[in-house]
Amino acid sequence: MNDLLKSLGLDAANPNAGGFDGAWCGGGPVLEVATPIDGSRIGSVRQVTAAEYDRIVDRASEAFRSWRMVPAPKRGEVVRQLGDRLRAKKAALGALVTLEMGKITAEGEGEVQEMIDICDFACGLSRQLYGLTMHSERPRHRMYEQWHPLGVVGIISAFNFPVAVWSWNAALAAVCGDTTVWKPAPKTPLSALATIRIAEEVCRANAVDPAIFSLAMGDVAAVGERMLADRRIPLVSATGSCRLGYRVAEVVGKRLGRTLLELGGNNAIIVTSYADLNLAARAIVFGAVGTAGQRCTSTRRVIVHRAMQAELMKRLAAAYETVRIGDPRKSDTLMGPLVSGDSVDMMQAALRRVPAEGGRVVYGGDVLRGPQYPGGGYVKPAIVEATPSMALVKEETFAPILYVIPYGGTARPADAAALERELLEAIAIQNDVPQGLSSAIFSHHQMETELFLSHVGSDCGIANVNIGTSGAEIGGAFGGEKETGGGRESGSDSWRSYMRRQTNTMNWSAELPLAQGIKFGE
């Protein structure tokens, strides 16, 4: 373990390291870090004080003033090199993510791959920060819009993607000419430290002020709340629970700052009577069990046509039996531990509510004990037969619980009208939750898939056909509606959130015509 930390420029004890503003600092409380793999201590980090936070944001503001004038393609070149450094460190950083968060090695490395992908994307984007030109209604006038850098972006991230969320924000923000101050999750500080060390190295090699990628690790009072209220930060991009989102919206909204919110999900897969159950079962297992159900896009609900229910349940139970649970570093493990004892307690509390709410636990849910399950975080994933009206199915329990809800009749619909009626019933169940992140349908019937994707279909930010809810490519805009917060990150035109738009009208005539033909004092 010490070798791993050393290869990333860290020690077991990291005094003076929780803050970075071009130089390392940290005179605040010590944060102890343990691994959920066996509960043992990995190390510690000294966090920043409120005064240090203030200085970090000052330095990031100063760095912004020069970084914004660097041509965007040159900023893209720095981000390209960041991607290359991450390529070289992929195995080590992925292993640290696994150690701190508990996701399996393939997913830890997959997370670093997402960072590499977004750096590639952002580098290309740095030559494509396009604005539109418009035809003016006035003669000899020209209108166009341009996109300017915005300022210091505050990044608040969640424990379950300890490093990728930073990169989705930081890579785009950097090519857009912004600087960033990152408040990482307290459960995964070492991964954050290692990431900023890599970014620092790249900046120094390019003679760029490393304060463009700043870090302010600290508790909610010293850093989190200050960041929300901080008028030096025009945009706060926050990833976490819906509870966090409400708070961010309230405090940042009060000062009319901008927010980009990436919050909880309650993602469903609809399995129709025209589904390929082979595909559907595989997607459901990956979505519900992968990352131990701790992805914002984890599959939490399956809404299955009654004609398929028995067969699907049989396949799911068989597939769940083959899921190897244990040390996430072992190559044959598919599910590691939950991140903490609190998560285990939350899962157990949810399962205890099932019978009273009218559901039935039909598989798993137990806490696993014994020498091969040290640390107390290992659980058997649960499958619950549920009804749409259960309060539980409207909540996001951040653990591997899958609610299976039947819809429709017991046989395949007899005609197009019945097919539409039944699928609308399934879509209504799917949409009847406060969150709106990811959704999917498994069907080979075109009317069904098109209805699902239509205006009366899924109300989520992500709607997939014949692939699951979990995981997304960085090329698409990522985010969701309703209590998921409405933000979009990563691909497509999400970059616009990190810039300010300016509309310019140029008059090259010798007159001063007013818009709408208004005559004023002539």
In whole angstroms, what is the distance from residue 487 CA to residue 140 CA?
A: 39
Residues 6+ apart with CB under 8 A from 410: 306, 307
Classify residue 149 by burial, with Cβ atoms within 10 Å: 0-12, 13-18, 19+.
buried
Residues 6+ apart with CB under 8 A from 389: 358
- 163 lies in the site for ligand NAD, by CB under 6 A: no
Q: How far is the CB of 5 from ligand NAD (least distance, A)?
A: 22
Q: How far is the CB of 237 from ligand NAD (least distance, A)?
A: 10
Q: How far is the CB of 69 from ligand NAD (least distance, A)?
A: 31
Report the residue number, 89 or 226, with the smaller CB distance to ligand NAD.
226
In whole angstroms, what is the distance from residue 396 CA to residue 210 CA?
A: 38
SS3 189: helix
Q: Which of 158, 308, 325, 440 binds ligand NAD (CB under 6 A)?
A: 158
Q: Which of residues 100-129 bind ligand NAD (CB under 6 A)?
A: none
CA 459 to chain centre: 18
User: In this structure, how many other beta carbons lie within 10 angstroms of the beta carbon of residue 319?
Assistant: 16
Q: Which of residues 263-322 bind ligand NAD (CB under 6 A)?
A: 263-265, 296
Lay out the site mask for ligand NAD across 471-490 (x = CB under 6 A, - = otherwise): -------------x------
What is the number of residues in the chain?
522
- 262 lies in the site for ligand NAD, by CB under 6 A: yes
Report the residue number, 346 or 362, with the smaller CB distance to ligand NAD.
346
Lay out the site mask for ligand NAD across 421-460 (x = CB under 6 A, - = otherwise): ----------------x-----------------------
CA 192 to chain centre: 15
In whole angstroms, what is the distance from residue 119 CA to residue 77 CA?
A: 10
Q: Which of residues 190-229 bind ligand NAD (CB under 6 A)?
A: 220, 224-225, 228
For ligand NAD (CB under 6 A), the number of binding residues is 27
Q: How far is the CB of 226 from ligand NAD (least distance, A)?
A: 9
Furthest CA-CA distance within the chain? 91
Active-site option among 176, 203, 242, 296:
296
Q: How far is the CB of 220 from ligand NAD (least distance, A)?
A: 4
Q: Which of 27, 186, 376, 471 binds ligand NAD (CB under 6 A)?
A: 186
Active-site option among 262, 422, 448, 483:
262
What is the full DSSP assignment across 106-168?
A: HHHHHHHHHHHHHHHHHHHHTT-----EE--SSTTEEEEEEEEE--EEEEE--SSSTTHHHHH
CA nearest neighbour of 456 among 485, 426, 414:
426
Q: Which of 156, 163, 280, 474 binds ligand NAD (CB under 6 A)?
A: 156
CA nearest neighbour of 316 among 393, 399, 383:
383
Structure tokens at 80: 């390209």
- 45 lies in the site for ligand NAD, by CB under 6 A: no
Residue 262: active-site member? yes
Residue 203: active-site member? no
Report the residue number, 115 or 208, with the smaller CB distance to ligand NAD.
115
Give me the residues that bind ligand NAD (CB under 6 A), please: 156-161, 183, 185-186, 220, 224-225, 228, 239-241, 244, 247, 262-265, 296, 396, 398, 437, 484
What is the set of active-site residues?
262, 296
